[in-house]
Chain A
Amino acid sequence: MPPQPLVTARRLRKVYGKPGAREFTAVDGIDFEVRRGEAFGLLGANGAGKSSTMRMIACVSPVSGGDLTILGRDAATDGPAIRARLGVVPQDDTVDTELTVRENLLIYGRYFGLSKVEVRRRAAELLEFARLTEKADESVGALSGGMRRRLTIARALVNSPDIVLLDEPTTGLDPQARHLLWERLFQLKREGVTLLLTTHYMDEAEQLCDRLVVMDSGRIVAEGAPAELISRYTTREVVELRLTDGDRATYGDELRSLVARFEDLADRLLLYTDDGEDVLSRAHATGARPITALVRRSTLEDVFLTLTGRSLVD
């Protein structure tokens, strides 16, 4: 018998507002499973229903319809018992800026009913993990955005959770801070912690997720490993061309005829192919003079574009 999934969602729905005109369906009947030890991603544009799904799994938002089982318990009735075993990293850091870094960990640990001795020991370990030991007794107000996010992650680990939920973990961070954060999350993965994260960054999803679902307008439009989704929904390579408006009008149709799939975006044209160099040379042969031309491998961004007709990041 395969091991029980840690999270099982069946026909899961979230509806906000009063029934009728002001009703808004954020999550519209989705099914998925999260397995022990994997990093599972919810990928989608803003407003796709990722955060609503996360909040339901965190048991801070009641389920409007369907079933949600977490760690073998029903989210509708066992909220406190489930929350006791989750670690939550919210999108906005809810750390107390008037307290020190260490105090934030101690206080949060006490919320889980950990003893003073236990929580002190955990805090020291987690400060080390989050590379914040040197900042331990400084006020949180003095931390950079990246440090603050690492503190939020350390705080989420204080109860040694079975699942860590991360809502847009690197939004608003500079590239260096993002990479350090990813590195810390990899460390958690290596230790066997199950990660569940939402993101609208396709590079983040490709880097971190073993498996993901693509969400759009409250529904799941695709599910699989990043590489699987790329091979299923798009070609191996993409030719990206930026043209002058004149060239675009003159050669657009001819360029379109070079490939089976073509995207006409506001600032560039995308030509999907398994042989980028070949298509690029044939594009040049049409007489078009691109301002920039680039051959790259397909990414989840292209998967998302194929599935929804829209870009992930506007």
Chain B
Amino acid sequence: MPERTVTGAAPALRELGYWLHRYRRIWRGTVVISVANPLLFLTALGAGLGKLINTRTAAALHGTPYLHFVLPGLLAAAAMQTTYVEAAGPVLQSVRTRGNYRAAATTPLDPTDILYGHLLFILLRVTMTGAMFALVGAAFGTVGATRALLLAPCTTLIGLAFATPVAAWAVTVSRPASLTMMMRFAILPLYMFSGTFFPTTGLPGPLRDLAEATPLWHGVELCRSLALGTATAAATAVHVGYLAAMAAVGLWAARRSYRRVLHA
């Protein structure tokens, strides 16, 4: 039997190619959203709410203008939200309605190749969103240009920490309504209570402990300490370590659930 040698990109990059091909048709819209989102937030919170806060409770923010304080929080939260939107629905559709995962599974790709390729695309999207967010922040003068540069890889890390467990779960979900529930009862509370808009030091004891145990809080703190220049090596290591550990566990779970679902 003649051997046919298959050349071309590594299998995971072929899956990435699929997502990039789809993305070609919608990229303009996503860029507009990525810029408009921080613009709206910074205008409303900076010009509106910020004025009120800066005159009243500047002490809790250690003298930082509210806009400078809230920008890295919003950026970290946007990274989480973008990741959820990119990972949950598209993964469910890929395995159910559209079936592109099932189609890819009949090619030389293994389930883990499919996972890695899609994760690469999600990370690309979240990093783009983060970079755009930081760029708008720098344009507003709320974060220095060099510090803004540091924020983009932080959003990649936050993206990886959330994308892996979300994908691990979404590939097993059969009802789209479950995704909405998760958004409402997990993602939104994280968004509101992980120190995005206000310092968690103001929360009552147990609530504060809870907030500071969440992954988004570590993401917010990582971004904020880098943006405001208050980062210490120890604290940064803890935040990065937490998010990296979450990504590692998520990846283990996702490899497992992708194999179980696509190679049943």
Chain A residues with CB under 8 Å of chain B are 16, 55, 58, 60-62, 71-72, 79-81, 83-86, 88, 90, 92-99, 103, 107-108, 110-115, 155, 159, 162
* Contact between A112 and B6, CB atoms less than 8 A apart: yes
Q: Jot down 7 A-B pairs with beta carbons below 8 A, ordered by A.
A: A79-B110, A83-B108, A94-B99, A107-B17, A110-B14, A111-B108, A113-B108
Per CB-CB distance, the 3 closest pairs between chain A and chain B, nearest first, are A113-B8, A94-B99, A111-B107
The answer to whether the Cβ of B244 comes within 8 Å of any Cβ in the partner chain is no
In-complex Cβ contact of A85 among B4, B22, B104 (8 A): B4
The answer to whether the Cβ of B98 comes within 8 Å of any Cβ in the partner chain is yes
Q: Within 8 Å CB of A107, what residues of B?
A: 17-18, 21
Give Cα distance in the complex from A72 to B2, angstroms: 12
* Contact between B106 and A83, CB atoms less than 8 A apart: yes
A284 → chain B closest CB, angstroms: 55
Q: Within 8 Å CB of A103, what residues of B?
A: 21
* Contact between A86 and B4, CB atoms less than 8 A apart: no
Give Cα distance in the complex from A62 to B111, angstroms: 13
Q: Report B133-151 residues with CB < 8 Å from chain A CB.
A: none
Give Cα distance in the complex from A101 to B264, angstroms: 29
| Residue with the highest number of chain A CB atoms closer than 10 Å, among B1, B15, B104, B263 | B1
A23 → chain B closest CB, angstroms: 14
Q: Within 8 Å CB of A92, what residues of B?
A: 99
Over the window 4-33 of chain B, the binary record of Cβ atoms lying under 8 Å from chain A Cβ atoms (1 yes, 0 no) is 101111010011011001100000000000
Chain B: interface residue count, which band?
A: 20 to 34
| Residue with the highest number of chain B CB atoms closer than 10 Å, among A60, A95, A114, A115 | A60
Give Cα distance in the complex from A94 to B11, angstroms: 20
Give Cα distance in the complex from A63 to B209, angstroms: 48
* Contact between B108 and A84, CB atoms less than 8 A apart: yes
Q: Within 8 Å CB of B100, what residues of A?
A: 94, 96
* Contact between A97 and B264, CB atoms less than 8 A apart: no
Over the window 107-125 of chain B, the binary record of Cβ atoms lying under 8 Å from chain A Cβ atoms (1 yes, 0 no) is 1111000000000000000
Q: Within 8 Å CB of A72, what residues of B?
A: 1
* Contact between B99 and A80, CB atoms less than 8 A apart: no
Q: Within 8 Å CB of B21, what residues of A?
A: 99, 103, 107
In-complex Cβ contact of B104 among A84, A111, A115 (8 A): A111
A108-B107 contact in complex given A71-B1, A99-B22, A113-B7, C-beta closer than 8 Å: yes
* Contact between A61 and B107, CB atoms less than 8 A apart: no
The answer to whether the Cβ of B35 comes within 8 Å of any Cβ in the partner chain is no
* Contact between B103 and A84, CB atoms less than 8 A apart: no
The answer to whether the Cβ of B102 comes within 8 Å of any Cβ in the partner chain is yes
* Contact between B106 and A96, CB atoms less than 8 A apart: no
The answer to whether the Cβ of B105 comes within 8 Å of any Cβ in the partner chain is yes
Give Cα distance in the complex from A155 to B104, angstroms: 12
Give Cα distance in the complex from A23 to B103, angstroms: 27
The answer to whether the Cβ of B262 comes within 8 Å of any Cβ in the partner chain is yes
Q: Within 8 Å CB of B105, what residues of A?
A: 60
Give Cα distance in the complex from A19 to B17, angstroms: 39
Q: Within 8 Å CB of B9, what residues of A?
A: 113
A14 → chain B closest CB, angstroms: 10
Residue of A nearest to B18 (CB): A107
In-complex Cβ contact of A61 among B4, B22, B98, B263 (8 A): B263
Q: Within 8 Å CB of A80, what residues of B?
A: 11, 108-110
B261 → chain A closest CB, angstroms: 11
